[in-house]
Structure formats: C-alpha cells, structure tokens
Structure 1
Amino acid sequence: MVKPLSPSLPSAFLEAIQDIMPAHLSLDEFIAACQRPLRRSLRVNTLKISVDDFLSLAADWGWQLASIPWCKEGFWVVSPDETQLRLGNTVAHLSGLFYLQESSSMLPVSALFYAQESALLSREATPSPLVLDVAAAPGSKTTQIAARLGNNGGIVANEYSASRVKVLHANISRCGVDNSALTHFDGRVFGAALPETFDAILLDAPCSGEGVVRKDPDAMRHWSPESTAELAQTQKALIVSAFHALKPGGVLIYSTCTLNAQENQQVCQQLLDTFPQACAIEALGDLFPGAEDALTEKGYLHVFPQIYDSEGFFVARLRKTATIPPLPTPRFNVGKFPFTLVAGKDKDAVTLSANQAGLVWDPEQQQLWQRDNEIWLFPTALSALFGKIRFSRIGIKLAERYAKGFRWQHEAIVALADAQAPHAYALSDALVCEWYQGRDSYPDELPTGDEMVLTYQHTPIGLTKRIGSRIKNNLPRELVRDGACPQHGKQG
C-alpha cells in the first residue's frame, strides 16, 4: 500500500496513479510536483492587443515571461513575485489585455485549432464557423476560442451551474468577445436539440479534478473510487451527446483536469466503440515540441504534473467522419423568440448614431436586433439557432433607446469602440487606476470634447463625459475594484 505523504493525496488515489503512470515517470516525482506551488501563467488576449505589443509592455513593467510551448499567446510569469503584485488587480488584466489561465488549461483549444489554420475553422474553408463549448465557465477556453477566431463566426458557451453563468459573462465581456451566446443547460441536451450543427465542439468535462491539487489542496478532499465512477458515467453521456451535435467532418476535443483512465481514456473508448465507423482519433504528438513526452499509445495527451511542471490534464482530439443516426427529438417548449430584426431606415439610424459614438462592427458578422427599448448585436452565424434552444444571453447589448437618442452600453464600448476615434482619450496609469477604483478624475490636461471613449494601451475601457474640470466615472459598480493598481505594483 502506498503511504500518503499529504492529506491532499489519499493512499487509494496514489495507488491508482501508480497503476496508470507510464514506466518512464516515477510516483516520487509525481508527489513532489503536486506539493510544489503552481507556476503562474497568463494568456495574451489578442482581441485587445498583439502578443508582440504585450511583450513590449511587459518588458517596460519589469515582468519576466517564459513562453508556453503549446500556446503562442501563453506565458509563464517568472517575475514579479505574487507578494509584489496581484495580477488580477492590475489595470492590464481589468482592461482585458490578458487572461489569467493555467498553462495546461490552454491545451484543449490549442488542440482544437491543431493543423486547422488552413482547414476546418479558417475563414477560407468556413467563413462563419459554429463552435460549442459545452462546459464553459469561467470562460478561459471560450475567450481563447474567440481570440483564435478573431470574433468570427459564433460560439455557444454553455454552463450548467447557474451561479457560474454570471462569471462566464463577466469574463467574456471584459475580453471584448462579441460572437458568443450563453446557454444554461445540462450538456446532455445538445445532441438531441441541435443535431449535427457545430463545426467544432469543446467538451472540457466536469471531473474529479485530480490534476488541480497544486492550485487547490482541497480538490481531493472528497475523492473516492465511487465518485470517480459516477462522474465517468456523466462524462460518457456528455461525449455521446456532443458527438451527435457535431457536423460530419467536425472535430470534438474531449478534455479533463483529472488523471485517471476511467474519466479519460475509457470515456473516449466508449465513444469509439459506439460509433466505430464514424469516429476517429487524431493523434496530438506533433501539437508542440515535447508533446511526445505526454503522448499515449492511442495519440491522446495525458499530462502528469511533473512532465511540464503544470497542472495535470488530459486531451483527446476526435474527428466525426460520417453521419450517425439521430437521437429522438426532444420534447420541450423553447418559447417565442423575444427579439425582432432592426431593418430599413431604423437600422441605418442606429448604425449611424453608433458610428458617431465611435462604435463599429462588421455588418456581415453582426446583426441588429431589438426588444422593447433595447438594441442588441447578435452574431449572424448563430441566427439559424434562434427558436431551437433557449438562450440566457446572445451577443452584446448595444444600447437602450430613450427620448433623446441612445444610451450606449459599457459592454458594447469595451467590445466595439474605436480606440482611434476623434473623441478617444488615453488614460495614464494613475488615471486608469482611478477609473477602475470607481473615482472621478481631474486630469491636468482636459479633453476638449464633452463625451469621450476612454482608452488604456490603445484598447477601449469605457464611455464617459467631461463635467467641468473632471472626468465622470461611469464604470458599472459591479466592475469597481478598490485594489486596482498599475503593473509595477504600486497604487497610482
């Protein structure tokens, strides 16, 4: 019997790990890796800033970054130390320039776009791809997908937990994603509700979390073989449903942040056995230099923490090669779709007014819809799904009509405003800290106009007005951060 060295690693768990660990890896190295602090990592949000521009800024801030080999936008943070700077409170993070994401968590989306730059999800092959993220909260992978797509096409981001939908929306909004729609379902409904609909699907399945013990020592507190077996049954149902929702020729990524074969290889094998003529593994050995160190015989990536000094993870890439018999048609009432298209002169008037306010969008990719006095921008690629399932939220709320015109919404400014507009006003480190702290500002040099798009590092962060000698703070109260600070760690 393996003796546990930490309360977070039960002996039964260590025995199970020892049974499945490849011969070239040792249990002692696994335990040592699990007990080391997890390296911090981030992903540059290329919807807001290029990687090269971000690296230039990071150098000015005194940050030392190391490239993550499987994600060209991903970096480990070598310095500054967490005691010097809380990355989540930096104005660059609050402005959406980067996303705090564990390095292994970047693998599934990298696998989704593997060898597809000129294939499945490219603009040339699929001008408006549809992607489903089955278990999307808190939004790490949804925002990563949106960035790789350049906000092209449409993403259905589903989250089963009601309490996490709000966090998912907050992260999507902060990062300037405008091609998503949120749903709140048990992921097992999609195969029947939307058969053969999506060009690509990511199923980052709910799991026992064996791989995240470095970040969360309590992750294994309720671990047991029984709970693992129960989760595996849910995962098998989820992957079958996802496969039904995938178009023939499409790619399904199955991933977990756990390590046992029951929730990983066996889940994939059940899908392969169920659809032997329609499902094929696409090996990931060439995904990045060093991928072979985590490659299984079948071509999956089984990442033990000591291999890349990261969290544990599992990633499989599966191709749907043929149509499969559909599931029974579900019996549920979607309800009447509560929006109508904005068309004709009204569409022209809204567009003109928005452009004058500095808001721009691609009319091929986005459509104007309205509900009562609300104006919304919906991804055109998702319009075929309207009336088929119920959405919690679609696209972005552009404006509210009122007697004198339109009241532009903060999420629309963050996603759509032109940072080079004539009335754009760039904030210094000190002023941007005041903005995120919810305080009015009194700059030495006042802008000339009354209304302005505020920017930071050439990205829009809000719309406000000059009132006398001050800039009025219009940041939504739920986004105020008392501890907001610049990148050097000192309050502005």
Structure 2
Amino acid sequence: MVQRYIYMLGYDGATKLLEAFEKPLNPVVRVNTLLIDSEKLKFRLESLGFSLEEIPWAKDAFRVVSKPEYPTIGSTHEYLKGYYYVHRDASALAPILLLFQDYRGDVLDACAAPGGKATFASQHVFPHGVVYANDISLPRLKSLIGHYARMKLSNNVVTWADARMLPREWTRRFSRVILDVPCSSEGTIMNDPSRKAKTTLKDLSLLVKREIELLNAGLEMLNPGGILAYITCSIAPEENEYVVSRALESRVDADVVEPPFKLFDWSHGFTSFHKLVFDDRVRNCVRIWPHIHGMFGFTFCLLTKTRS
C-alpha cells in the first residue's frame, strides 16, 4: 500500500497522506433548506452545545468542530425533524453541487443508498424534478427510505435493482445520472482504519470489473448531452482513471466534461500510474486528498454522452 502511495505522490506526499490518515475527520451537517433556514439551524444546534464551522464552497453545510456529551449530532430533535443530513465528510457534496448548478429535471441515482447524494439531489430539483433512487442492497434501501421520510422529501421513486441491469429493464433515460459506485473506500481510512488491510489485490480486481460494468450501464441510462457523475471514495487510480479510460476506449459516444467551475483548488486526475497509461481526458477528473484538502480521499469524473 505504501509503495502505491509513493508511485502516486512521491515520498514526501505519501508521508503526508499517511499522517493525514491517522487523523479522524468530524462529520458535516447539510441543511435541508426546504424545511429550515441555515442560520436558524446553526443557532439551534449551537444552543445545544455544538460548535459549527462554515464550509466556504458549500452553502448550507457546516462541519461539526466540537460537540456536547449529549445529544449526538444524529439524535437531536432537529435531526429527527428532518432539518439536516449528516455526512461523514464534505467531499461528497462537491459533485452534486456541480451536477445541479442549473438543472431542475429528473435524476437517476443508480447506487443511491444510504441516501446522502439522493436526498441532496431531491432538494436541488424540487419541486420540478424527481429523483429515481436505486440500489441493489435492500437493507441500505430501507435506510434511504427512512431518510426521505425523515426529511419530508416526496419527489422520489425508490427502486431495488442491480444498476447493471437497468438499461435492459428500463426504457426511460435521464439527463443527470449519479453513479457513486461500491468501491474499496480507501480514501476513508482515517475514519475506518480497517480499510488499511481490507482490500486485497484480488478484491481490487473484482471491484474494478464491477465498476467498469456499472459505468457502462450508467452511460447507457444517460440522454445525449446529459451529464453523469462517476464517484468513488477511493484514491486508487485503478478504480478511477483506469475505469473511466476503459469506458472511453470501448465507446464512441462518451466524453469527459471539464467541471464548469472550481469549488476549491482541487487536484487533477492522473494520466498515468506506475506502468499504467490512461486516456489524456481523465486529467479533467477531480481528486480530493486528505493531506491537501483536509477531506476524505475522494475522486469523481463528469462524463457526457455525445450521441444516441
């Protein structure tokens, strides 16, 4: 693992990354502005003893800097009323903010549970758009349904299916697709140290195979001219730039979209890693690093479909 990080970042960068992995991150509160104003929620939570820090690039989101002994951030009256969603970190907000800047139509979230991005998307497209929130895991779908009910978000259709099967089972297509694929979660080691040894090279190979299949299925669900966000909480190039490169190589109807604006000074995607060489277009993928940006290791890429 350490040698891989040196290939990615050099010795100094790898050392700083490993140091960052030893420092757990505090959760982030994303306000449900359909129910409450951000400043009102901030006041109410601070009255309970929470200390909140604004996230400059993410309006209506706060990092929990410190907390009281009781209640927890997930057991307040305000949480139960649906006034906010608790994210493990702010990184997950970035692709959604880019994807829905000027869009209020229907959305497919192909791997939606437990619901962080799906509920955020529902807030963005309300009242005109509907989020079709799909997942393969029934227990995780129950969590998603619970969040939708708690946050009083009704503009959603929840489905239970393997996202790889959607192109042959559904006739409708979408102009926005969220594809947060099951991955190694290597970028979340600071909050889950078990990830250090959880994924073997064989496991990684199986994950990559499934991720390629999911990305191709996601592109099949996309309307021409639409945008898909391919997302992982992994820093592994094999799960990110390699997967996107494979999709670009195998299709003539897909292209990478440069993010329309920068939320913060993120890093670019790799065009090579060790002995692997990727499509030059994956440089427009976005990388978020714990030791540089103070968030989970997180990667996403915006893709478009150029024709039917």
TM-score normalised over the length of structure 2: 0.89
| Partners of 2:221 and 2:206 in 1: CA distance | 23
User: What is the one-letter code of the residue matched to 1:309?
Assistant: G
Aligned partner (choices 272, 287, 290) of residue 265 of structure 2: 290
**Shift of residue 40, structure 1, vs aligned partner:** 2.1
**Shift of residue 151, structure 1, vs aligned partner:** 4.0
> Percent same amino acid among aligned pairs?
27
Higher relative contact order (CA 8 A, sep 6+): 2
For each residue in 1:373-398, what CA deviation from the matched residue of structure 2 results, as whole angstroms up to 9, or x when unmatched? xxxxxxxxxxxxxxxxxxxxxxxxxx
Deviates more, 1:84-93 or 1:166-175: 84-93
For each residue in 1:241-293, what CA deviation from the matched residue of structure 2 results, as whole angstroms up to 9, or x when unmatched? 110111111110000011111110111111212223x22212238331323xx
Partner of 2:4: 16
- Closer, same or farther in 2 for the Cα pair 1:264/1:57, shift >3 Å? same
- Closer, same or farther in 2 for the Cα pair 1:50/1:25, shift >3 Å? farther
**Shift of residue 167, structure 1, vs aligned partner:** 0.9
The DSSP-based 3-state class of the residue aligned with 1:240 is helix
Whether 1:316 and 2:289 are equivalent positions in the alignment is: no
| Partners of 1:139 and 1:194 in 2: CA distance | 21
Deviates more, 1:156-165 or 1:54-63: 54-63
User: What is the one-letter code of the residue matched to 1:95?
Assistant: K
The DSSP-based 3-state class of the residue aligned with 2:91 is helix
Aligned partner (choices 302, 306, 320) of residue 291 of structure 2: 306
Whether the 8 Å contact between 1:42 and 1:74 is mirrored in structure 2 is yes
- Closer, same or farther in 2 for the Cα pair 1:152/1:228, shift >3 Å? same
Whether the 8 Å contact between 2:106 and 2:125 is mirrored in structure 1 is no
- Closer, same or farther in 2 for the Cα pair 1:264/1:69, shift >3 Å? farther
Aligned partner (choices 63, 67, 88) of residue 76 of structure 1: 63
Whether 1:225 and 2:211 are equivalent positions in the alignment is: no
- Closer, same or farther in 2 for the Cα pair 1:224/1:70, shift >3 Å? farther
Whether 1:131 and 2:116 are equivalent positions in the alignment is: no
Report matched runs for 1:59-70 at 5 Å: 59-70=46-57
**Shift of residue 100, structure 1, vs aligned partner:** 0.6
Partner of 1:170: 146
**Shift of residue 44, structure 1, vs aligned partner:** 0.7
The DSSP-based 3-state class of the residue aligned with 1:111 is helix
Partner of 1:146: 122
Whether 1:48 and 2:35 are equivalent positions in the alignment is: yes
The DSSP-based 3-state class of the residue aligned with 1:103 is coil
Aligned partner (choices 235, 251, 256) of residue 281 of structure 1: 256
| Partners of 2:62 and 2:300 in 1: CA distance | 20
* Structure 2: segments with no counterpart, 5+ residues: 271-282
Partner of 2:19: 32
Whether the 8 Å contact between 1:192 and 1:241 is mirrored in structure 2 is no
- For the aligned residue pairs, the C-alpha RMSD in angstroms reads 2.0
**Shift of residue 229, structure 1, vs aligned partner:** 1.0
User: What is the one-letter code of the residue matched to 1:246?
Assistant: L
| Partners of 1:72 and 1:300 in 2: CA distance | 23
Partner of 1:92: 78
The DSSP-based 3-state class of the residue aligned with 1:270 is helix
| Partners of 1:195 and 1:25 in 2: CA distance | 50
Aligned residue pairs total 295
Report matched runs for 1:351-390 at 5 Å: none
**Shift of residue 196, structure 1, vs aligned partner:** 5.9
The DSSP-based 3-state class of the residue aligned with 2:79 is helix
**Shift of residue 215, structure 1, vs aligned partner:** 1.4
| Partners of 1:50 and 1:153 in 2: CA distance | 22
User: What is the one-letter code of the residue matched to 1:99?
Assistant: Y
Larger Rg: 1
Indicate the structure with greater helix content. Answer: 2
The DSSP-based 3-state class of the residue aligned with 1:104 is coil
For each residue in 1:43-80, what CA deviation from the matched residue of structure 2 results, as whole angstroms up to 9, or x when unmatched? 11112112233234345445432222442122111233
For each residue in 1:9-43, what CA deviation from the matched residue of structure 2 results, as whole angstroms up to 9, or x when unmatched? xxxx221122123x596111111111112122111
